[in-house]
Chain A
Amino acid sequence: MGYGHRLEFGITIPPVLPEGAAAFARRAEELGYDVVTFRDAPGRSLDAWTLASWVAGRTDRVRVGAHVPCATPAVLARAAASLDLLSGGRLELGLGAGEEAAALGEAIDIIRGLLDAGERGPLRFEGEHYRVRGARRGPAPERYVPVHVEAHDPPMLRLAGRKADGWVATLGRIKAGGIRAANGLLDETAREAGRDPREIRRLLNISGRFSGERGGFLDGPPGAWVEDLLPLVIEEGVGTLVLATDGAEGMERFAREVVPALREAAGRELAGAPSGPAVRPAWVRARRQPGIDYGRIPASLGENAVEPGDPAYARVRSTYLRGGAPGLVLRAGSPEQVAEALAFARSHPEVPLGIRSGGHGISGRSTNRGGIVIDLSKMDGIEVLDEASRRVRLGPGARWMDVAAALAPYGWGLSSGDYGGVGVGGLATAGGIGWLARKRGLTIDRLRAVEMVLADGSVVRAGGEENPDLFWAVRGAGANFGIVTSFEFEAYEVGEVGWGQFLVDASDTAGLLRRWGAAVEVAPRDLTSFIILGAQRPGRPAVAQVFAVVDSDRPEVVAGQLEPVARAAPVYDQSAVITPYASVMANAQGSYHEARGEPVARSGLIRHITPRFAAAAEMLLRSGAAYFFQIRSVGGAVSDVAPEATAYAGRSANFHVAAFGASPERLDAAWDAMRTHFEGTYLSFETDRRPERLREAFPPGVLERLRELKGRYDPENVFRDNFNIPPAERRQG
């Protein structure tokens, strides 16, 4: 009789020894215990929550089980989320001692409701015992926080059957022979509530005595303990044994002499089972999307799969600019897992598929509604392969600010973009217009090889020698051809750079753009500059922000090169510093994305900022249709690369122009007037999916070759979330 849980062992820390508690817990962690638990006892003993939080701060791996009274459930919910976050997902919440079943049931609903930060809208709860009137949900815990309920009588057992993730009983208060009946009641009420009894882990608090000869139940040599405990595990389905002991010696002997023998005897199935719930709770399953076969999620991905009812869902549903509600997010940790996730996704051809690395896609729809997302954020390695040739290997999930920071100690860098939060995967498959573009080219220009998973699940390398066609396509249209699992780059030397920020008057918008563009075009390649304007508001002075990096650490060089660019208009405010390249990139916060809605963006590549273009841009900004307008310099080294060398073909441009608006119709109305000036598009900043855009992003020869290769590598068009290139029809015969 088992419930499919991994057999686990815990220790109850006596709440009496302030100095000893942390040491005791650390020793339990060293001894391999899975969980340390704390229970509240009145009077001189320590407050269990405080003690559990303290111990979490002094341990690294062991889970922390806090068994506490529940005075104000909403406050306890926030505390639980907080302890789970601080401890890196190690909390188990124990409730029930001294409570009444009906009140506790309400409390659990409130706690779960507030922990469910993925659900939008405040929590309202009108109960007999507790009321919550529009409390905001969150914070989202690190993991699903299991709620364990202590139950020794039928009302509490029934409550545990309906609502708990674990049932806790103490041997002594329940007889070994009474466990079966209790399990029966739990299972029955669980089924009545539409749950699977395997959702409930069975935890048993035990205590005993080690002695030379058997004196009674759990009183004797370790072998006798094993004999006594084994039937509880095998026949009664107990998944966790928690030993209460005052002395370190009992804890040591139990870990060394009882646990291994019990594990061995209990057999392989239990040892290999997941430590979390064997099945997702019923209320999580209730939120599943039709059309996704959740039961067949590959086992290796199971623990890291996130579904709509999971607490981690709040952290993965949306991206930096796009709100989403996918039906399943599969977080892969290796090329093999990527291939498994892909095979699973391919068995669902009807639902959308998104590939996500850093989650900063604009054109890239790395979230969706009701579909599947393969998330690569765990594959975030940054590794130096060879110091002499400055070869580095980057995982797709690494963020560019972390790349910059990791390369800085070597004195190296890689130009990527202007924002440190952007991920390697999306940017390095599309282009990469960054702070050193004019001097060092696009990010993809330093790419030497990739490893990727193709639509058919094969893992291949592509580089100058191996699969050169694929390597060509990856550099500009990579998202259409597979999932890149690692990137090999040749970095270059970058130390401190000049970093200028200028707030300038933009009342003569067209003039400013012209003068800025002219200054940038004649500047030495050390300089790369971006300019940003927002919608102009009546009655407010129009301003623009000009940013520039000069790849030099000599103040006179930096000042000399910044000056002409800053002089494009009267300056309101300025700062210029010499600072490590990595600190220019360190501009993103380390937290998750929670955008709502859909971004609307347009992109164009242009050779010169001509007076007519500048006038059209001024009109666009005056119209208010764009709330964010940016021109980035390219040209320089970007144009040194032949247009046919990579799928990114817009090599002749000196500038990239992007605009974000709220409404596609309004934005297009103004943007269309500018189209005649453009010579192509950088797909990353284009959200329009009409076929014309494809022809702008890729010149005819390039598009033809891409379609032909798409037909070869992805004939069924599995990869279609980012500027989709339709595969060429297979020619007959």
Chain B
Amino acid sequence: MTDYGHDLLFGAFITPAARPPTHAVELAVAAERAGLDLVTFQDHPYQPAFLDTWTLLSYVAARTERVRLSGNVINLPLRHPAVLARAAASLDLLSGGRFELGLGAGGFWDAIEAMGGRRLTPGQSVEALGEAIGIIRELWDTEKRGGARFDGEYYSLKGAKRGPAPAHGIGIWVGAYGPRMLRLTGRMADGWVPSLPYLSGGPANLAEMNRRIDEGAASAGRDPSAVRRLLNISGQFQPSRGSLLVGPPRQWAEELAEISLEHGVSGFILMADDAAPIELFASEVAPATRELVAAGRAR
């Protein structure tokens, strides 16, 4: 059993489709009403079929009251970390502390370059992400005196004004798969959000990946529990039992509880573009999973 000691979170991963523009907003509101803890949107600024994720997050924050929001994950190569820091803090302040910052190093370099972004190798993009996290934390730190300075390979700050400070400790959650990114996550991040459909070996892959994060954390003198483990999942509800996450809500709950107890995952984010599965996930799967995990942790 692995337990990093976080309460369970249940969320939705909603496509930020531009047409019709209200669809994503309505689903986010439905997710809140259904009782989910978290609403997230992917961020692909080169994709014109999608709304701009930052704008959508800000708009949805204004349309909701309670649910937490995050990019899943924000595309760093097309968004400058200094701008992100201020925007994230602003959104956190406006929403009363409901914002978390999911961040990714980027991957579709042709499209990024077409938009005017800088092409990086995978290795460089990991380093750039590390610098970005440093800059963001620096700008959020308004306790420190004087302008923020940072002299990196990819970004620099020359005495930038600090602030605003966010309303709560915004979690920086990283979408990571490769060994370097996982170590970086362990060293610097507050959370980790991989997607289950991308794991070729299924949930079993999580063990090895967790180990890399834990090592990264240890190397920076951090406790592994400093990094919350979340997981984007997809599946299908049906009356009869089927393969992993294809079946009735009870089956889902058992499988998610097992993943949680086995690998310490404490956040499940459902990829869904209809209200019906989101509602089932919130009303049936989430409470049952919580119970099973609580029972399992107590043992």
Query: A residues near B, CB below 8 A?
Result: 18, 21-22, 42-47, 49-51, 53-58, 71-75, 78-79, 81-83, 85-87, 110, 114, 117, 122, 130-139, 142, 589-592
Contact B62 A55 (CB under 8 A): yes
B244 proximal to A (CB < 8 A): no
Contact of B52 among A45, A57, A71, A82 (CB under 8 A): A82
Q: Complex: how many Å from CA A73 to CA B87?
A: 17
B14-22, B201-209, B213-221, B263-271: which lies at the A interface? Answer: B14-22
The answer to the question of B83 belonging to the interface, with a C-beta cut-off of 8 Å to chain A, is yes
**Are B90 and A117 in contact (CB-based, < 8 A)?**
no
Among A54, A122, A142, residue most surrounded by chain B Cβ atoms (within 10 Å) = A54
Bound complex: CA A646 to CA B179 (Å): 74
Known pairs A57-B62, A75-B115, A82-B56; A138 contacts B49 (CB<8 A): yes
For B199, list chain A residues within 8 Å (CB).
none
Q: Are A78 and B87 in contact, CB atoms less than 8 angstroms apart?
A: no
Q: Which of B1-9, B159-167, B254-262, B276-284 contacts A (4 or more CB under 8 A)?
A: B159-167
Across-interface contacts of B142 in A (CB, < 8 A): 44
Q: Is the CB of B54 within 8 A of A79?
A: yes
Query: Whose C-beta in chain B lies nearest to the C-beta of A52?
Result: B58
Q: Does B33 contact A (CB under 8 A)?
A: no
Please, how many angstroms separate the alpha-carbon atoms of A352 and B132 in the complex? 57
Which of B48, B59, B113 makes the CB contact (< 8 A) with A78? Answer: B48
Most chain A CB within 10 A, of B47, B90, B95, is at B90
Contact B54 A54 (CB under 8 A): no
Are B164 and A136 in contact, with the CB atoms below 8 A?
no
Q: Are B58 and A50 in contact (CB under 8 A)?
A: yes
**Once bound together, how far apart are the Cα atoms of A45 and B89, in whole Å?**
10
On whether the beta carbons of A139 and B87 are closer than 8 Å, the reply is no
Contact B51 A82 (CB under 8 A): yes
Are the CB atoms of A57 and B116 closer together than 8 Å? no
Check A72–B116 contact: CB distance below 8 A.
Answer: yes
B80 in contact (CB, < 8 A): yes
Q: Inside 8 A of B86's CB, which chain A residues have their CB?
A: 46-47
| B49 in complex: contacting residue of A58, A83, A139, A142, CB < 8 Å | A139
Query: Which residue of chain B is the closest to A85 with respect to CB atoms?
Result: B21
Q: Is B79 an interface residue (CB 8 A)?
A: yes
Q: Are A53 and B58 touching (Cβ within 8 A)?
A: yes
Q: C-beta contact mask, B37-52 vs A, less than 8 Å → 1, else 0?
A: 0000000011111111
Q: Which of A85, A110, A142 has the most CB of B within 10 A?
A: A85
Say yes or no: B54 contacts A50, CB within 8 Å: yes
Residues of chain B within 8 A (CB-CB) of A131 are 116
Question: Smallest CB–CB gap between A115 and chain B, Å?
Answer: 10
Within the complex, what minimum Cβ distance (angstroms) separates A401 from chain B? 14
Chain A to chain B: the 4 pairs with minimum beta-carbon distance, closest first = A57-B62, A138-B48, A53-B58, A43-B161
In the complex, which residues of chain B have a beta carbon less than 8 angstroms from the beta carbon of A139? 18-19, 21, 48-51
Q: Are A117 and B48 in contact (CB under 8 A)?
A: yes
Residue in A closest to B20 when the chains form the complex, CB atoms: A590
Residue of B whose beta carbon sits closest to that of A83 = B55
Write 12 A-B pairs (CB below 8 A) sorted by A numbering: A22-B94, A47-B86, A47-B90, A49-B54, A49-B58, A51-B58, A56-B62, A58-B62, A72-B117, A79-B52, A117-B48, A135-B114
Cβ of B27 < 8 Å from any Cβ of A? no
Q: Are B52 and A50 in contact, with the CB atoms below 8 A? A: no
Residue of A nearest to B23 (CB): A590
Interface residues of B, Cβ cutoff 8 Å to A: 18-22, 25, 45-52, 54-56, 58-63, 78-80, 83, 86-87, 89-91, 93-95, 111, 113-117, 142, 160-164, 167
Which partner residue on chain A sits nearest B24 by CB separation? A86
B116 touches A82 (CB 8 A): no
In the bound complex, do residue A46 and residue B90 qualify as a contact, i.e. CB atoms below 8 Å apart? yes
Give the distance to chain A from B237, nearest Cβ to Cβ, in Å: 16
Complex: chain B residue closest to A137, CB-CB: B48
- Contact of A136 with B46 at beta-carbon distance under 8 Å, contacts A43-B161, A50-B91, A82-B51 already known: yes
For the A-B complex, the count of residue pairs with Cβ-Cβ distances under 8 Å equals 151
Q: Which of B45, B59, B111, B163 contacts A86 (CB 8 A)?
A: B59
| CB-defined contacts of A132 to chain B, threshold 8 Å | 114-116
In the assembled complex, how far is the CB of residue B160 from the closest CB belonging to chain A, in whole angstroms? 7
Contact A133 B114 (CB under 8 A): yes
Q: Is A54 within 8 A of B59, CB to CB? A: yes
Report how far A139 CA is from B48 CA in the complex, Å.
Answer: 5
Chain B minimum-CB-distance residue to A17: B93
Tell me, in angstroms, the Cα distance from A55 to B80 when the chains sit together.
23
Q: Residue on A with the closest CB to B48? A: A138
Chain B residues positioned under 8 Å from A81 (CB to CB)? 18, 52
In angstroms, how far is the closest chain B Cβ from the Cβ of A19?
Answer: 9
Q: Are A82 and B18 in contact (CB-based, < 8 A)?
A: yes
**Is A18 in contact with B25, judged by CB distance below 8 angstroms?**
no
Q: Which residue of B50, B58, B113, B160 is within 8 Å of A57 (Cβ)?
A: B58
- Nearest residue (CB) in A for B77 is A72
Contact status A47-B87, CB under 8 Å = yes
Please tell me which one of the listed residues A45, A54, A72 contacts residue B94 in the complex, with CB atoms under 8 A apart: A54
Cβ-defined contact, A78 with B52, below 8 A: yes
Q: How far is B79's CA from A46's CA once the two chains are assembled, in angstroms?
A: 17
Are B114 and A134 in contact, with the CB atoms below 8 A? yes
Contacts of A22 in B (CB 8 A): 62, 94
Q: Do B55 and A79 have beta carbons less than 8 Å apart?
A: yes
B55: which A residues are within 8 A, CB to CB? Answer: 49, 53, 79, 82-83, 86
**What CA separation (Å) do A53 and B89 show in the bound complex?**
14
CB distance from A358 to the nearest CB of B (A): 16
* Shortest CB distance B166–A (Å): 11
**Residue among B45, B56, B91, B115 with the most chain A CB within 10 A?**
B115
Considering the chains assembled together, what is the distance between the CA atoms of A46 and B51 in angstroms? 22
Please tell me if the beta carbons of B51 and A74 are within 8 angstroms of each other in the complex: no
Name the residue of chain A whose CB is nearest to the CB of B79.
A75
Report the minimal beta-carbon distance from B16 to chain A, rounded to whole angstroms. 8
Minimal beta-carbon separation of A402 from chain B (angstroms): 14
Chain B residues with CB under 8 Å of A590's CB are 20
Q: How far is the CA of A55 from the CA of B79 in the complex (A)?
A: 22
Query: What is the minimal beta-carbon distance from A108 to any residue of chain B, in angstroms?
Result: 14
Chain A residue numbers with a CB within 8 Å of B45 are 74-75, 78
Beyond A21-B94, A56-B59, A86-B51, 10 additional pairs, beta carbon < 8 A:
A18-B93, A50-B94, A53-B58, A54-B59, A57-B60, A72-B116, A75-B79, A86-B59, A591-B19, A591-B20
Contacts of B113 in A (CB 8 A): 133
**The residue from A50, A82, A83, A135 contacting B87, defined by CB atoms under 8 A apart:** A50
What separation, in Å, do the CA atoms of A51 and B95 have in the docked complex?
11
Residues from chain A with a CB closer than 8 A to the CB of B164 are 43-46
Contacts of B90 in A (CB 8 A): 18, 46-47, 50-51
Residues of B within 8 A of A72 (CB): 78-80, 115-117
Given A57-B63, A86-B21, the answer on whether A46 and B94 have CB atoms closer than 8 Å is: yes
Q: Is the CB of B163 within 8 A of A49?
A: no
With A56-B62, A86-B56, A135-B115 in contact, is A51–B94 under 8 Å at CB? yes
